[in-house]
Structures are given as structure tokens and as C-alpha cells.
Amino acid sequence: MIEVYIDGASAGNPGPSGAGIFIKGNGKAEKYSIPLGNMSNHEAEYHAFIKALEICLEKGYSKSVVSFRTDSQLVSNAVEKEFVKNKLYLPLFEKALSLSKQFDLFFMKWIPSIENKTADELARLAIRKNNLE
């Protein structure tokens, strides 16, 4: 099984944002810290999820059991119910849902922030990278 921990963060709302992605499985661990530019925290959470889905698809993980873990109840609930309340996030949600359908076995699980520390640290690092690019 592949476990994918994701987090989006913003310094300000909106403000400089970043995505943190921590993937473990198959005996290895991968870390990604991706600057996202200026956006809200909720947008950053969705972008982190989309980036993680794209990375997993590029690496051929779609044939494995892939469990995504997030501390964002907004993203977790939207994926679980296949419904988004705020229409502002509809395009991001639809893209994420479309990507998730490409996995043979896809799971999304909400976890408390304390269990998502690595992804959170990577997201915060990505915020600082915005100023370097």
C-alpha cells in the first residue's frame, strides 16, 4: 500500500501558499515541497491534493492501493461525499475527482494535524520557496 500525506498552507488568507506531499510505501519515502503562489488556505489544500494525485499517477501508483491522508476536513468531506458546498472550489474539486477516478483502489482519510506533521512542514517550506522563485 502507498500512503500519501498531503497538506496545503498559506501565510495569510490569501497569501503565499505551498503544498506539502509525503509519500511512503514500497520501502521508500518521497517528499515534495511545491510553491503555489498566492491563494487561500482552502485553495492550497485542494492544489496539494491535485499535485499529489498527479505525482502518484506519473509514478504509476494507480495500480496499487493508494491511501491519501489529509488534515483538511473540507477536502476530505468533499471527496467522501463527491460534493462541494462552495462553488468557488468546484473546478479544483472536479479536477481532483477526475484524477482520483484513475486509481484502481483509491482511499481518502481525514487525520488529525498531529499525524500530518511531515506534510505540514513541507507545505510551510514551500511557502518560503515562493519568495525564491
Q: What is the pLDDT along the chain (133 residues), one digit of tens a residue?
A: 999 999 999 998 899 999 999 999 989 999 999 999 999 999 999 999 999 999 999 999 999 899 999 999 999 999 999 999 899 999 999 999 999 999 999 999 999 999 999 999 999 999 999 976 5
> Is residue 129 one of the residues assigned to a domain?
no
Structural domain contains residue 45: yes
Residue of 84, 77, 69, 74 lying closest to 114 (CA atoms): 69
CATH number at residue 63: 3.30.420.10
Residue 13: what pLDDT? 86
Residue 118 lies in a domain: no
In a domain, 55, yes or no: yes
- H or E element in which residue 17 lies: strand 15-25
Provide Rg for the chain, Cα atoms: 14
How many domains is the chain partitioned into structurally?
1
Residue 8 lies in a domain: yes
- Confidence at residue 132, expressed as pLDDT on a 0 to 100 scale: 64
Strand order in the sheet with 105-110: 28-39, 15-25, 2-10, 65-70, 105-110
Domain-located, residue 133: no
Task: Check: pTM over 0.85? Answer yes or no.
Answer: yes
Give the pLDDT of residue 133. Answer: 52
pLDDT of 1: 92
Domain residue limits at 52: 2-112
Tell whether 28 is covered by a domain. Answer: yes
Residue 94 corresponds to which cell in the numbers above?
A: 472536479
pLDDT of res. 125: 97
Contacts of 119 (CB under 8 A, 6+ apart): 5, 6, 7, 20, 21, 22, 48
Residue 131: inside a domain: no
